[in-house]
A and B are shown apart, each in its own frame.
Chain A
Amino acid sequence: MKNKGEIYRISGPVVIISGLNTKMYDVVKVGKEGLMGEVIGIEGEKSTVQVYEETSGLRPGEPVENTGMSLSVELGPGLLESIYDGIQRPLPVLKDTMGDFIKRGVSANGLSREKEWDFVPTVKKGDKVNGGDIIGTVQETENIQHRILVPPNVSGTVDEIKKGKYKVDEVICTLSSGTELMMMQKWPVRKPRPVSKKLMPNTPLITGQRILDGLFPVAKGGTAAIPGPFGSGKTVTQQQLAKWSDTEIVVYIGCGERGNEMADVLSEFPELEDPKTGRPLMERTVLIANTSNMPVAAREASVYTGITIAEYYRDMGYDVSLMADSTSRWAEAMREISSRLEEMPGEEGYPAYLAARLSEFYERSGKVKALCGKEGSITVIGAVSPPGGDFSEPVTQNTLRIVKVFWALDAKLAQRRHFPAINWLNSYSLYSKALEDWYKENVSPEWVKLRNDAMELLQKEAELQEIVQLVGSDALPEDQQLTLEIARMIREYFLQQNAYHEVDTFCAMDKQFKLLKAITAWGDKAQTALEGGASVEDIMKSKTKDDLAKVKFEKDFDAALGVILKNMEEEFAKLRGK
């Protein structure tokens, strides 16, 4: 066998080649146009290849060449603000070379070879460096300092180090062994980048979304899944997280979803400001867009491309969050390829290795001590699109076995435009306990109790609702009627949050606390008033109750809430007087 073979058979994205010496996951160039593909099976003298581009017109007998490399991404300055397809080809470059529509046979570098970066060394001649160590920095965007790392498998003594403007593929450091380092390094996407050790997540990812931060927080370095039927809010939630989460880097993967959604992100993110730094959100973001109509094998790869880029920034000591919308489309890509290979199907036609692939992927999250000694993290949030909205299907089930946070979207809530349509009874966070200390220290000592009381009230409401369904609400005792009302306030005034409202789209932790506290305060006063003999009917007429409904929309929230709290005192004083 040799380095050149030929096509034997073509069936959609799967091509079988003969006469070529290959290893698993080698990247090969298929056909006269040199379409990019990856070896995913070897049998005798034939290899099976998944091709990342359209295969129409490809014929048996066309040549195939092995590059001998695994599918890799280019890592270095210039990743931020980029938008890539599933195999890290920059979409703007593709547009320049092939026009508005994606044609094929064009390769494009992940990182620009033209752009020069100002490299500032942090080591000097004679220093000993190991894999993952920082040898210098580059100001990649206004707020993000890109730390240039020694590739994980390299070490030695610095013989020469440069300073000044260089391109990513120019040598900036030479080791005494003769090894030359550039600002760019390559890494095979299917292989996790090594870390020094894994740490326990203990800080919440603050998202500015009340139901998430308030009730079901995910930790930095943790994992969360957001399953739901179509139209229930997976994408909006993911985008809200990409916009407002307090991480330093965001990797957003549009995996087999809509083209317009990516266009939307591209037009919006440069305009929006990071609430923490005031800089355009795009400056901290890497986008990967392999939409539903783009080649399915590249969709399969997109998730790996994304997580590898995330790991690279984690290795610099950054907190990274990664959103994958949708992991179901990734799983389906696996299924599609697997069925072309005529593999033995597992549950619902998915390959038997579905569960393993999902857990390998989520395992790449985590809070870590990086090789360079700094702490970094990757929080992974995966959208899941269960057929018919039925959570018992394999992708949802296998995902829930791995992730620690479950945000259950609910079509019923979405239909009545209760957003985010996250069901407060079914969702959970296994981090809640571990994060309590953080909330007590950084938000308020009262927070945990407030939150638990609110959860309890919502639970109570669900029980009462069952009775109401049988007898009507008027038949309930007055104190229970009041309980229902307070629960409604928590749902509508606190949990509901309109992603499109200019003020309410983001809610700082302090505001979340004050809002929940005010609603609870109203509830307590109302209970006391009821016990003191006031009627539910009178209590319900409370004007401050209505004011609380809209206070979250106020630009000057603190002032508006101050007024309401004052009026609340007076209102209930009067009720007592009656």
Chain B
Amino acid sequence: MTKEYKTIREIAGPLIFVEKTEPVGYNELVNINLPDGTTKRGQVLDTSDDIVVVQVFEGTGGLNKECGVRFTGETIKLPVSKDLLGRILSGSGEPLDGGPRIVPEDRLEITGAAINPYARLPPKDFIQTGISTIDGMNTLVRGQKLPIFSGSGLPHNEIALQIARQSKVRGSDEQFAVVFAAMGITNEEAQYFMRDFERTGALERAVVFLNLADDPAVERLITPRLALTAAEYLAYEHDMHVLVILTDITNYCEALRQMGAAREEVPGRRGYPGYMYTDLASLYERAGVVKGRKGSVTQFSILSMPGDDITHPIPDLSGYITEGQIVISRELHRKGIYPPVNVLPSLSRLMNSGIGATRTREDHKAVSDQLYAAYAEGKDLRGLVAIVGKDALSDRDKKFLEFADMFEDRFVRQGADENRDIETTLDIGWELLAELPEAQLTRIDNKYIQKYHPAHKAKEEKKE
């Protein structure tokens, strides 16, 4: 039993300052015993001979200087076992489902060590999500971190769930295990996820961590780390392919900002801590594939952009770390298009290694590039038409203008349960491109035009 100190000198926001301790380890886990018999947990942020600074995860409500503080001598750990699957835990890892405590096979540090870059295997297994804008133009691969950048009131939850339901690696019937971590979302939103997991039977293959809007904000700083620790355990010890959904990263960052303010740190851009990039990297970089291990960790997190502003520090720093982003558009949503993915600012950095002749189809890259270029041009022309009117456009430009509309209507739009395979997605792409003059398809090698362009394809097939 470690010693209990009753030497809290000061309580400020989520922090307590404890003095006259024996040497305390940096990042150590702390238990704080309240007069009413309950215990709160915290972590050491700064330690010296004179004073120890502790952040309290469940918030400092109810604390006073009489509380007993115990330093546990170890950093925070998550008890893990395969029985985590099917369980619902709190944002700090306590069972919420009335089930028993986890009988641990191991207890793992939740900060997680960095994967040695030399031990990484570049991710390249194509995940078919069944959504054209993703599979066709922003391909997801196993081991990637690809967040959804969204905004309030947009259907990011529906999209995340559709992806969780439909995702599969072709030619394998392995299903993804899902680790879901809610950070500061409403109970209603959380229920929406839970119901869908139950309906589809995904819950049996899922571990859920819930920190809801009315739970303490500081706890949010550990929730994603618990989730990622569980994910790594399932992936690397039990050979599972794990899809991690963290939502909402923005709430996590707000908690980080709050913590920084409480510590009176020099704030960085818009009040967020200067180390937010490094901190976010310590979450996002916990995705990947490790040489010689069978499982993988894929992250598909949700981030709502404050004010729909992609240059806001939260999406900005995220985009600098993640391997792309899927951007949800309010404009498309207003037009009634689901899923309202704006492909132009969206990107999958790992797309090129996940597609092509042996993985998807040989023409994939070319079709995608051409769709991008044509849609971008069409969208620009919309702006022009608003000023000069459609009649001032050349015939060529009119084609591109129409293309943009068709693209949104036929390629982007699809049903919430419509699961398109990659061939269907690419074929729709070709049908749309066929509406443009063939000479305009400058991004596509002639050999693919001969083989896949509807005008030539029909001929080829007739010949045979």
Chain A: residues with CB nearer than 8 A to chain B? 8-12, 16, 54-62, 83, 91-92, 94-95, 99-103, 229-231, 254, 256, 258-260, 262-264, 266-267, 289, 291-294, 296, 329, 332, 335-336, 339, 345, 348-349, 385, 387-390, 411, 415-418, 468-475, 492-493, 498, 500, 546, 549-550, 553
Q: Is the CB of A259 within 8 A of B48?
A: no
- Contact present for B278 and A16 (CB under 8 Å): no
Q: Which residues of B contact A62 (CB under 8 A)?
A: 23
A473 to B275, CA, bound (A): 49
Q: Does B424 contact A (CB under 8 A)?
A: no
Contact in complex: B46, A259 (CB < 8 Å): no
Q: How far is the CA of A546 from the CA of B446 in the complex (A)?
A: 11
> Measured between alpha carbons, how far is A60 from B113 in the docked complex, in Å?
23
Besides A55-B26, A472-B384, 6 other CB < 8 A contacts?
A: A10-B26, A11-B45, A100-B115, A101-B114, A260-B323, A348-B269
Cross-chain contact A387 with B316 (CB below 8 angstroms)? yes
Please measure, in the bound complex, the distance between the C-alpha atom of A20 and the C-alpha atom of B160, giving whole angstroms.
Answer: 55
Tell me whether B392 and A102 are in contact (CB under 8 A).
no
Determine if A339 and B274 form an interchain contact, defined as CB atoms under 8 angstroms apart.
yes
Q: Which residues of A contact B350 (CB under 8 A)?
A: 260
- Report Cα–Cα, A141/B46, bound state, in Å: 48
Cα–Cα distance between A100 and B286 once the two chains are bound (Å): 13
Q: Which residues in A have their C-beta under 8 angstroms from that of B119?
A: 95, 99-101
B376 close to A416 (CB less than 8 A): yes
Residues of A within 8 A of B267 (CB): 349
B450 at the interface (CB under 8 A from A): no
Which residue of B48, B286, B312, B319 is within 8 Å of A60 (Cβ)? B48
The residue in chain A whose Cβ has the minimal distance to the Cβ of B392 is A472
Tell me the B24-61 residues at the A interface (CB within 8 Å).
Answer: 24-28, 45-49
CB-CB under 8 A from A492, the residues of chain B are 442
**Could you say which interface size class chain B belongs to?**
35 or more
Q: Known contacts A56-B75, A291-B285, A417-B372; is A258 also within 8 Å of B323 by CB?
A: yes
The 9 nearest A-B residue pairs measured at CB: A472-B392, A388-B311, A9-B48, A292-B281, A416-B376, A101-B113, A91-B118, A263-B120, A56-B27
B114, B274, B311, B353: the one within 8 Å of A332 (CB) = B274
Are B118 and A292 closer than 8 Å at their CB atoms? no
Residue pair B387, A266 in contact (C-beta under 8 Å): no
With beta carbons under 8 angstroms apart, the residue of B118, B123, B313, B320 that contacts A260 is: B123
Among B277, B292, B317, the most chain A Cβ lie within 10 Å of the Cβ of B277
- Within 8 Å CB of A493, what residues of B? 442
Closest to B311 in A: A388
| B359 CB to nearest chain A CB (Å) | 14
30 A–B contacts from the bound complex (CB under 8 Å): A9-B49, A10-B47, A10-B48, A11-B26, A11-B45, A56-B25, A57-B26, A58-B25, A58-B26, A59-B26, A91-B118, A259-B115, A259-B288, A263-B117, A292-B278, A293-B114, A345-B266, A348-B268, A349-B266, A387-B316, A388-B313, A389-B311, A416-B344, A470-B388, A472-B389, A473-B394, A474-B394, A493-B442, A550-B442, A550-B446
B397 CB–A CB distance under 8 Å: yes
Q: In whole angstroms, how far apart are the Cα atoms of A163 and B120 in the complex?
A: 40
CB contacts (< 8 Å) of B446 on chain A: these are: 550
Within 8 A of A (CB), among B275-318: 275, 277-278, 281-282, 285-286, 288, 290-293, 311-313, 316-317
Minimum C-beta distance from A444 to chain B (A): 27
Cα A537 to Cα B122 in complex, Å, equals 49
CA distance in complex: A546, B439 (Å): 6
A231 touches B319 (CB 8 A): yes
Interface pair B120/A259, CB less than 8 Å apart: yes
B262 on the A face (CB < 8 A):
no
Q: Cβ of B186: which chain A residues have Cβ within 8 Å of it? A: none
Q: Are B47 and A9 in contact (CB under 8 A)?
A: yes
Give the shortest distance, in Å, between B292 (CB) and chain A (any CB): 8
B158 at the interface (CB under 8 A from A): no
Do residues B28 and A57 form an inter-chain contact, with CB atoms below 8 A? Answer: yes
Select B121's contact among A12, A16, A263, A469, beta carbons within 8 Å.
A263
Nearest residue (CB) in A for B356 is: A500
Q: Is the CB of B117 within 8 A of A291?
A: yes
With A60-B24, A415-B376 in contact, do A292 and B349 touch (Cβ < 8 Å)? Answer: no
Pair B49/A291 contact, Cβ less than 8 Å: no
Say yes or no: is B184 at the interface (Cβ < 8 Å to chain A): no
- For the complex, what is the distance from the CA of A101 to the CA of B345, rounded to whole Å? 33
Q: Are B23 and A292 in contact (CB under 8 A)?
A: no
**CA–CA, A550 to B456, complex, Å?**
19
Most buried by A among B117, B352, B377: B117
Chain B residues positioned under 8 Å from A500 (CB to CB)? 352, 365
Q: Which residues of B contact A91 (CB under 8 A)?
A: 116-118
Q: Is B429 an interface residue (CB 8 A)?
A: no
Q: How far is the CB of A503 from chain B (nearest CB, A)?
A: 10
A266 to B117 alpha-carbon distance, docked (Å): 9
Nearest chain B CB to A55 CB, angstrom units: 5
A549 and B442 form a contact (CB under 8 A): yes
| Contact for B117 among A259, A468, A472, CB less than 8 A | A259
Distance between B147 CB and nearest chain A CB, rounded to angstroms: 12
| A471: contacting residue among B111, B116, B392, CB under 8 A | B392
